[in-house]
């Protein structure tokens, strides 16, 4: 967002970062096996392509290093105020009054949130978490001082993080207990390593990486991206792949425990070629009985068994609907964010919010978290926001804000479209908000790209002069 603003001539840009360095989710999550499930060349900005990706789906440390190089190249560090978490923002007479956690106050014309979706860890409501005498930590706060070799380790949770962790650590621990509440569908997507000669070729001919990006973006318009929004033929291919991979589990009883009772991709699909092999290791025990409580020496399940362990890893995900709710935000006429979102998070075209002038969102509600690279989404939204600000300057206006009618039309459109998606087929997932509504983009990726590139439209916004 900062890079797009600077390029467009908006040079008074300050970034407030609650942590001490850049990197976001890839800074916070450093657990063993962490990797992206979006192809690396698509999980890249078009203006800062990387010829050195080591494999099709990059590991976390590579992505973090890429983002650090990005910040360095565009000299963003001098604009970033680290360890500055914004806790309050109030719109008063055309400006935002901001307060940080350490008590600083400032004003700004425009406030843009880019807080991400998966940034607040979800801790399970299990009795006795504080009673455990061993080491216990969330996957998003991995304790690298703990040597797992020869230890008895319990992993609670089996989404993408849990699957990656189990696959990586099973061979180094003495015993691994995987506590599985709900089985996940897993699709065996191979991860090809990129040879040195191939990466050399990309460095010598940078245009090749852009061709790869465009080809991957075109592929994203079909396949999985359309399967999840109702394409039955495309879904059939993923269902077949998941079932064939599940069939690789030799023990029939174990296979039954690992078989989900819902449609493929209703929950976020897990991509792995190693998970089923990991759970079939002799030292891995799959536990499907519900957890009753944590005791000083292990995990007690509802059948009365105590599963003794030395380390507990909470791979229990994130509060995906928090967005920037931690900021006490007040817009026009005293409208609070909590009131505006009292029936669920809303947005206009994933970027604006009625009642909150000059507040824009990168990664806001109804962004393409489910069927398009988030990096692509962020770049498109940033360009859209720049166009709004250019309109503001051209009209010599103080602020710009979506009109309620336009926002309602947008919300009706995406919510109606959600009825055909796999996310509404009968399971609980982090794609659904507290009222059971899908809160991510519910149409094709191509439709989102078109909306971003062809918008914004003047008729949908009100100018404040």
Task: Give the burial string for 358-390 (b: 16+ CB within 10 Å, else e).
Answer: bbbbbbbbbbbbbbbbbbbbbbbbbebbbebbe
DSSP assignment of 320-333: TT-TTTTSEEE-GG
The span from the CA of 40 to the CA of 437, in Å, is 30
What tens digit of pLDDT does each residue of 80-106 get? 999 999 999 999 999 999 999 999 999
Contact between residue 164 and residue 34 where contact means Cβ atoms under 8 Å apart: yes
Query: For residue 287, what pLDDT is reported?
Result: 98
CB 144, CB 301: distance < 8 Å = no
- Amino acid 72: pLDDT: 98
User: What does the pLDDT profile of the chain (465 residues) look like in tens digits?
Assistant: 999 999 999 999 999 999 999 999 999 999 999 999 999 999 999 999 999 999 999 999 999 999 999 999 999 999 999 999 999 999 999 999 999 999 999 999 999 999 999 889 999 999 999 999 999 999 999 999 999 999 999 999 999 999 999 999 999 999 999 999 999 999 999 999 999 999 999 999 999 999 999 999 999 999 999 999 999 999 999 999 999 999 999 999 999 999 999 999 999 999 999 999 999 999 999 999 999 999 999 999 999 999 999 999 999 999 999 999 999 999 999 999 999 999 999 999 999 999 999 999 999 999 999 999 999 999 999 999 999 999 999 999 999 999 999 999 999 999 999 999 999 999 999 999 989 999 999 999 999 999 999 999 999 999 999
Strand 95-100 and strand 86-92: pairing? Answer: antiparallel
Q: What is the pLDDT of residue 348?
A: 98
Whole-number pLDDT of residue 351: 98
pLDDT at residue 335, rounded to an integer = 98
What pLDDT does 399 receive? 97
Rounded alpha-carbon distances, angstroms, from residue 143 to 31, 137, 146, 362: 8, 7, 6, 30
Tokens representing 446 are 């191509």
Q: Cα–Cα distance between 423 and 265 in angstroms, integer? A: 7
* pTM of the predicted model as reported, rounded to 2 decimal places: 0.96
Cβ count within 10 A of residue 30 = 16
pLDDT of residue 308: 98
State residue 212's pLDDT score.
97
pLDDT the model gives residue 186: 98
Predicted pLDDT at 295: 98
In the chain the domains, ranked by start, together with CATH numbers, are 2-22+76-119+320-464 (3.50.50.60), 129-192+202-314 (3.50.50.60)
Give the containing element (helix H, strand E) for 186: strand 186-187
């Amino acid at each position: 967002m900062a890079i797009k603003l600077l390029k467009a001539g908006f040079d008074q840009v300050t970034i407030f970062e609650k942590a001490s360095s850049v990197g976001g989710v890839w800074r916070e999550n450093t657990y063993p096996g962490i990797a992206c499930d979006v192809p690396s060349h698509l999980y890249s900005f078009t203006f800062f392509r990387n010829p050195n990706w080591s494999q099709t789906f990059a590991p976390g440390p590579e992505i973090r290093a890429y983002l650090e190089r990005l910040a360095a190249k565009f000299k963003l560090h001098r604009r970033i105020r680290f360890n500055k978490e914004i806790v309050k923002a109030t719109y008063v007479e055309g400006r935002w009054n901001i307060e940080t956690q350490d008590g600083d106050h400032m004003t700004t014309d425009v406030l843009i949130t880019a807080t991400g979706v998966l940034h607040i860890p979800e801790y399970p409501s299990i009795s006795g978490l504080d009673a455990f005498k061993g080491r216990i930590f969330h996957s998003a706060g991995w304790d690298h001082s703990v040597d797992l070799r020869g230890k008895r380790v319990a992993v609670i949770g089996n989404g993408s993080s849990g699957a990656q962790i189990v696959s990586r650590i099973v061979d180094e621990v003495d015993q691994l207990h995987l506590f599985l509440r709900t089985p996940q569908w897993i699709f065996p997507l191979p991860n090809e390593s990129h040879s040195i000669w191939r990466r050399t070729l990309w460095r010598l001919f940078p245009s090749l990486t852009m061709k790869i990006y465009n080809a991957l973006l075109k592929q994203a318009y079909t396949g999985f991206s359309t399967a999840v929004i109702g394409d039955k033929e495309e879904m059939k291919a993923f269902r077949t792949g998941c079932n064939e991979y599940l069939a690789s589990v030799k023990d029939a009883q174990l296979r039954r425990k690992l078989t989900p009772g819902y449609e493929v991709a209703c929950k976020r699909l897990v991509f792995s070629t190693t998970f089923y092999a990991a759970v079939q290791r002799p030292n891995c025990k799959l536990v499907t009985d519900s957890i009753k409580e944590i005791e000083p020496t292990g995990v007690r399940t509802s059948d009365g068994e105590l599963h003794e362990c030395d380390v507990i890893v909470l791979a229990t995900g994130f509060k995906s609907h928090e967005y920037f709710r931690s900021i006490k935000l007040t817009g026009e006429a005293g409208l609070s964010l909590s009131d505006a979102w009292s029936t669920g998070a809303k947005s206009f075209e994933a970027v604006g919010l009625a009642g909150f002038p000059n507040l824009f969102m990168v990664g806001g509600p109804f962004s393409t978290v489910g069927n398009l690279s988030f990096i692509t989404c962020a770049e498109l939204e940033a360009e859209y926001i720049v166009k709004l600000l250019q309109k503001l300057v051209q009209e010599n206006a103080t602020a710009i804000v979506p009109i309620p009618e336009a926002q309602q039309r947008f919300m009706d459109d995406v919510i109606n479209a959600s009825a055909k998606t796999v996310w509404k087929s009968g399971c609980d997932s982090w794609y659904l908000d507290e009222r059971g509504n899908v809160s991510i983009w519910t149409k094709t990726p191509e439709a989102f790209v078109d909306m971003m590139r062809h918008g914004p439209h003047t008729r949908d916004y009100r100018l404040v002069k």
